[in-house]
Chain A
Amino acid sequence: MNIHEYQAAELLAEYGIPVNAGEVVTTADAAAAALERLVGPQGTVAIKAQVHTGGRGKAGGIKLASSPDDARDKAGQILGMDIRGHVVQKVYVVPAVEIEREYYLGIILDRSASGITLMASAEGGVDIEEVARETPEKIIRMTADRQMGLLDYQARQVAFDLGIEPDLVNGFAKIAKQLYAAFVGVDASLAEINPLILTKDRQWMALDSKVTIDDNALPRHPGFEDLRDMAEENETELRAKAHGISFVKLDGNIGCVVNGAGLAMATMDAVKLYGGEPANFLDVGGGASAEQVAMALQMILEDENVKAILFNIFGGITRGDLVAQGIVEAMNTVGVNVPMVIRLVGTNQDEGRKILADAGLSSYETMSEAAQQAVAVAQ
């Protein structure tokens, strides 16, 4: 689950990390008032768009303001702005800070190392993924002990490797450990401070934060549902999730209902290979019930672009007869107005095909036949 910068800053502050705290507002007038409260009418603030996407700075979503009128003006420009398809509905107003130096400090779930890895770089404030691609040697990596976590010496070693002066090392190491504690505490899959700055008066401060929560861990953090910004979410995707279905909306016109994530991707690839465009990724899940299939069908039909629906079911844990039953029930309740192409093999395939045949539906043997047929009928 993605959360906003201001929410990430609040979470990190709970773990003792010095963050540049400000106020989140939704109107230009409130931004002006926030400036007065935070720094006084003569002070300077940064006004930052709160959207679930990167590249805010380049898009003009972060601006400085030095008076209430200026803040009202700048916030007015940012609110409503479209940044990579995300419309800005909130801005975070924070005191402007004089920066001596910038660093990158992040913690990621590291698949290659099968662990949790601290990443740091003296190239802070920039796009770290670009640094990783162009000059990977500028990133220092340290995988935490899998049982004991990030150890003191590991955090210190990263600081020394970054060339941080001895009198500042302990302060840096402390923040690294706090960030690790936050990562584990909130069940993050990513927690980063970019930039972590050294101020003119040699204090460490997190100037911008990003936290991504592991979806699998959400059940044990019920309070985090409040952090979800519904404006940033696709309503259909959330509804699907509540029914155990993985759904991702795409731009094509062939709706796909598949069991299994890998096969769902391969089905989209096949549609594309034969000149079509998938309207969605949809994994109906293991042990798909008739009800789930009906739900999947309904969600796909809500998309007006859809001109054909391709079912690709390879039964393993999912039983072919249950899926077939679901398709037939859904046809009766939902009202399907586009052609359906069905490919059904695997566990209980014969029972499934019989159910389909009885309802006047034919089915295909192979995925490529079915994909080609779906592309043909969608045109």
Chain B
Amino acid sequence: MSILVGNETRLLVQGITGREASFHTSQMVEYGTPVVAGVTPGRGGREVSGVPVFDTVAQAVEKTGADTSIIFVPAAFAPDAILEAADNGVKLIICISENIPTNDMVKVYDHVQRRGARLIGPNCPGLITPGQAKIGIMPGYIHTPGRVGLVSRSGTLTYEAVWSLTQAGLGQSTVVGIGGDPIIGTKFIDVLEMFENDPETEAIVMIGEIGGTDENDAAEFIKSNVTKPMAGFIAGRSAPPGKRMGHAGAIISGGTGTAQEKIEALNAAGVEVADSPAGVAEIIGRKLGK
């Protein structure tokens, strides 16, 4: 295991009988992810891709020892699904669902913290430790096991960077998509700290975008806490101010949150920032002497 997930993960899929969820469950199972249970209220007793379905998280945890959950339920039910997982002892909760009302997430975030669980997302692609566990909606085959850790606010942009690493012969330790919403359970800093402390990670790629100050906070953290070589990419250099660019969190407001200021902050922290997402592979390759 690199960070957060690996061979020993016991995964539960919440909302498993939904269209997207059942498709991605089959993909995760095919990848070799240890998927042990699914939950859809009222569908207990069925199977999806050979995975037993339960009515409640409590039953699923009791019967299978699930310790990690991935959530695919619609936005209106997602906060409840996160709380159900946290209240039943699930320690790592990955929420793929998007469009959750933001103020709801404030309470949910707080509750999950009090339970001592970790939330990743919402509105994220999930995470993967290549060769061991794919917990998310990313195409598995673009990844390859290795020693580069990657953390990103975006989904497809992450695939782009991963693909370039793989093609350059640079495998990944763990790839974490933290999500594009304003209130998220795990921020850049949390993941950077885990990668810094992970003996299986040699270098780190960080992919950010316009909006908020998370990348700037991360830059401050990197200055004094990260010793491993890093490369970055920030999306949205051509984005106009005041317009939400898809992600709820991707908006330049009051002149802050621009790509330029984030790139400058990262540069000041010693992180080389690429012109394109694929450019991170060249930087990491150079820094690792490969």
Beta-carbon contact of A264 and B246 below 8 Å: yes
Q: A273-B275, A286-B98 are in contact. Are A246 and B156 (CB under 8 A)?
A: no
Return the contact of B156 from the options A217, A259, A268 (Cβ within 8 A): A259
Within 8 A of B (CB), among A162-218: 183-184, 187-189, 214-217
CB proximity of B72 to chain A, nearest CB, Å: 10
B267 within 8 A of A: no
Q: How far is the CA of A215 from the CA of B101 in the complex (A)?
A: 8
B116 within 8 A of A: no
CB proximity of A147 to chain B, nearest CB, Å: 6
Within 8 A of A (CB), among B97-150: 98-103, 106-107, 109-111, 125, 137-139, 142
Q: 21 pairs across A/B with beta carbons < 8 Å?
A: A109-B103, A111-B212, A129-B255, A129-B256, A189-B182, A214-B101, A216-B102, A217-B102, A246-B244, A258-B156, A260-B154, A261-B246, A263-B155, A265-B157, A265-B246, A281-B246, A314-B156, A316-B139, A316-B155, A317-B125, A347-B139
Return the contact of B76 from the options A112, A129, A215, A219 (Cβ within 8 A): A219
What mask results when residues 86 to 103 of chain B are scored 1 for a CB within 8 Å of chain A, else 0? Answer: 000000000000111111
Measured CB to CB, the nearest residue on chain B to A277 is B238
- The prevalent SS among residues of B at the interface is loop
Beta-carbon contact of B209 and A146 below 8 Å: no
Beta-carbon contact of B20 and A216 below 8 Å: no
Within 8 A of B (CB), among A121-151: 129, 132-133, 146-147
4 additional A-B pairs beyond A269-B238, A314-B159, A316-B156, beta carbons within 8 Å, are A147-B110, A260-B155, A262-B207, A269-B236
Beta-carbon contact of B125 and A316 below 8 Å: yes
Beta-carbon contact of A283 and B246 below 8 Å: yes
Within 8 A of B (CB), among A241-266: 246, 248, 250, 258-266
Measured CB to CB, the nearest residue on chain A to B20 is A287
Q: A261-B180, A264-B246, A281-B246 are in contact. Are A214 and B102 (CB under 8 A)?
A: yes
Beta-carbon contact of B276 and A368 below 8 Å: yes
Q: How far is the CA of A296 from the CA of B224 in the complex (A)?
A: 45
CB proximity of A312 to chain B, nearest CB, Å: 9
Chain B residues in 8 Å Cβ range of A318 = 156
Q: How far is the CA of A283 from the CA of B246 in the complex (A)?
A: 7
Return the contact of A184 from the options B103, B142, B214 (Cβ within 8 A): B103
Within 8 A of B (CB), among A265-298: 265-266, 268-273, 278, 281, 283, 286-287
Return the contact of A111 from the options B20, B154, B182, B259 (Cβ within 8 A): B182
Chain A residues in 8 Å Cβ range of B249 = 111
B240 within 8 A of A: yes
Q: How far is the CA of A250 from the CA of B236 in the complex (A)?
A: 13
Within 8 A of A (CB), among B3-45: 20, 24
Between B217, B256, B277, the greatest number of chain A beta carbons within 10 A of the residue's beta carbon is seen for B277
CB proximity of B122 to chain A, nearest CB, Å: 10
CB proximity of B241 to chain A, nearest CB, Å: 11
Instruction: Place the interface of chain A in its size category.
Output: 35 or more
A315 within 8 A of B: yes
Beta-carbon contact of A262 and B101 below 8 Å: no
What mask results when residues 308 to 347 of chain A are scored 1 for a CB within 8 Å of chain B, else 0? Answer: 0000001111100000000000000000000000000111
Within 8 A of A (CB), among B248-290: 248-250, 254-256, 259, 275-278
Q: How far is the CA of A263 from the CA of B177 in the complex (A)?
A: 13
Beta-carbon contact of A265 and B277 below 8 Å: no
How many chain B residues touch A (Cβ–Cβ < 8 Å)?
A: 63
Beta-carbon contact of B106 and A146 below 8 Å: yes
A220 within 8 A of B: yes
Beta-carbon contact of A261 and B247 below 8 Å: yes
A379 within 8 A of B: no
Q: How far is the CA of A217 from the CA of B76 in the complex (A)?
A: 9
Chain B residues in 8 Å Cβ range of A133 = 255-256
Return the contact of B235 from the options A215, A246, A265, A316 (Cβ within 8 A): A265
Q: How far is the CA of A170 from the CA of B71 in the complex (A)?
A: 44
Beta-carbon contact of B102 and A109 below 8 Å: yes
Pairs of residues from A and B, 9 with the lowest C-beta to C-beta distance, nearest first:
A262-B154, A261-B246, A260-B156, A262-B157, A129-B254, A146-B110, A263-B156, A217-B101, A265-B235
Measured CB to CB, the nearest residue on chain A to B255 is A129
Chain B residues in 8 Å Cβ range of A250 = 240
Measured CB to CB, the nearest residue on chain A to B185 is A114
Q: A317-B20, A367-B277 are in contact. Are A262 and B137 (CB under 8 A)?
A: no
Beta-carbon contact of B107 and A262 below 8 Å: no
Chain B residues in 8 Å Cβ range of A215 = 244, 248
A305 within 8 A of B: no
Chain A residues in 8 Å Cβ range of B236 = 265, 268-269
Q: How far is the CA of A259 from the CA of B137 in the complex (A)?
A: 13
What mask results when residues 148 to 183 of chain B are scored 1 for a CB within 8 Å of chain A, else 0? Answer: 000011111111100100000000000000001011
A115 within 8 A of B: yes
B213 within 8 A of A: yes
A366 within 8 A of B: yes
Return the contact of A272 from the options B24, B154, B237 (Cβ within 8 A): B237
